[in-house]
Structure 1
Amino acid sequence: MLARIHTDHAHILTLLNLLDRKAGRLERGEEVSLTLIRDVIDYLQRYADNSHHPMEDILYQYYLEKVGETDGTVHRLAQEHETLRIATDQLMDTLNMILNDAVVPRERLITDLKTFAGQQRRHLEQEEKHVLPKLEQELKEDDWQLLQQQVADTLMDDPLFSGGGEREYEDLRAYLSEADDES
């Protein structure tokens, strides 16, 4: 389960880096594919907000009930999932407005993309540096088996990175593959 979380975080970080690059291009006055950016946000809404974060919430609640905590880190990060969901929804609304020909200043989109990516990145870093090591250290094999059963209903296959042949996110998958080939 921890391996899946680490993998999800690496994938999300890849997408946040893509958003940063697109924001940089917008700052330089270059054109970007807003549909591609919308696909990134859609993926984060569908997968991160509806499978990845709920799985983490179950883990965090279990940890808090079993071990407790003194510094509030686990509790705070679990609460951040709602904040991140709201930020994702707001950015999706902005992108949909633009794609439906509403006038949104370029500077607002740039700021929104940078703020969103930074907020997500800080959250991931806190989980990776502070929370996941606590879980790994404190929880035993029996805990993980029980947790696996508890999270089963929240888990879904990753619609972008699972390697399936689904047409969903086809353009984004192709873009990421081309970006890998260039590096």
Structure 2
Amino acid sequence: MLKRLRRDHQHIAILLDILAKKQRKLAVGEGVNFSLVRDIVEYMQSYAEHSHHPLEDITYDFFMKKTGGLNSSQLHDEHTRLAESSGALMYSLNMILSDIVISREKLVADLKSYIELQQLHMEYEEREIFPHFVKSLTVEDWAEIEKLCHQKLVDDPLFSESDEVTFDELKAYIADIDNKQ
């Protein structure tokens, strides 16, 4: 399960890098493919917020119960803030794609804020949360966690080998980036 969470972080980092490039282009007045940006945010909402973050929350809650640690709300609070931020960003992107004028400066600032929030959140988990999991959770614990997470376990709609047609444009964009490197 921890391997899956870390792999998700790697995939999210790829998408945040794409968003950061788009944000920088917007900041200097260049055009971007708003559909692609929306697809990234939609992926973050549909997969990260509805599968990845719940898996982290379940694992964290199991860890806290097992170790008797003081249950900090930081992880859950950050997940809530990320969902709020992605919702606001998605609203702005949908407005733009519906030909409703949104301030470029606001969109640039919202994108930058969202990217930074996501990056800081992943750094916090990698630095503060995941090492505790490694030290404290046994193979048996992970098996129990996987049972608890069963309802939230879904295949990654973007980075899995499924034939699902969701995010086709984004898949092609990422494949093109990989071919250029």
TM-score where L is the length of structure 1: 0.95
- 1:166 CA displacement: 1.7
User: 2:100 is aligned with what amino acid?
Assistant: A
The structural deviation recorded for 1:70 is 5.5
Name the structure 2 match of 1:2: 2
Aligned to 2:155: 157
1:20 partnered with 2:20 = yes
Q: Which amino acid aligns with 1:34?
A: F
2:68 & 2:129 partners in 1: Cα distance?
Answer: 12
Residue segments in structure 1 that go unaligned for 5+ positions in a row: none
Question: Amino acid of the residue matched to residue 28 of structure 2?
Answer: R
**1:31-110 superposed matches below 5 A:** 31-69=31-69, 72=72, 75-110=73-108
8 A Cα contact 1:56 1:78, kept in partner = no
Shift of 1:102: 1.2
- For residues 11 and 42 of structure 1, what CA distance do their matches in structure 2 show? 14
Report the Cα distance in structure 2 between the residues aligned to 1:22 and 1:106, rounded to whole angstroms.
12
User: What SS does the aligned partner of 1:152 have?
Assistant: helix
How far the C-alpha of 1:163 sits from its partner, in A, is 2.1
Give the alignment partner of residue 179 of structure 1, picking from 161, 164, 177: 177
Count residues with an aligned counterpart.
181
SS of 2:152 mapped into structure 1: coil
Are the counterparts in 2 of residues 60 and 78 from structure 1 also a CA contact under 8 Å? Answer: no
Give the letter aligned to residue 158 of structure 1. D
**Aligned match of 2:118:** 120
1:144 matched to which residue of 2? 142
SS at match of 2:14: helix
| Per-residue deviation, 1:149 | 0.5
Q: Which amino acid aligns with 2:60?
A: Y
Asked if 2 retains the 8 angstrom alpha-carbon contact of 1:19 and 1:113, the reply is yes
* Distance (Å, rounded) in 1 between the aligned partners of 2:36 and 2:68: 41
Deviation at residue 142 of structure 1 after TM alignment: 1.4
**What is the CA deviation profile of residues 137-164 of structure 1, one whole-angstrom value per residue up to 9, with x for unaligned ones?**
0111111111110001111000000022
Aligned letter for 2:134? E
**CA–CA separation in structure 2 for the residues paired with 1:137 and 1:148:** 18
| Structure 1 position 65, deviation (Å) | 1.1
Q: Partner letter of residue 19 of structure 2?
A: L
**Distance between the aligned counterparts of 2:179 and 2:107, measured in 1?**
28
Distance 1:60 1:174 in 2: 34
RMSD, matched Cα? 1.2
Runs of 4+ in 1 over 6 A off after TM superposition: none
Q: Is the 8 A contact 2:11 2:159 kept in 1?
A: yes
Identity score, percent:
40
Other-structure match for 1:11: 11
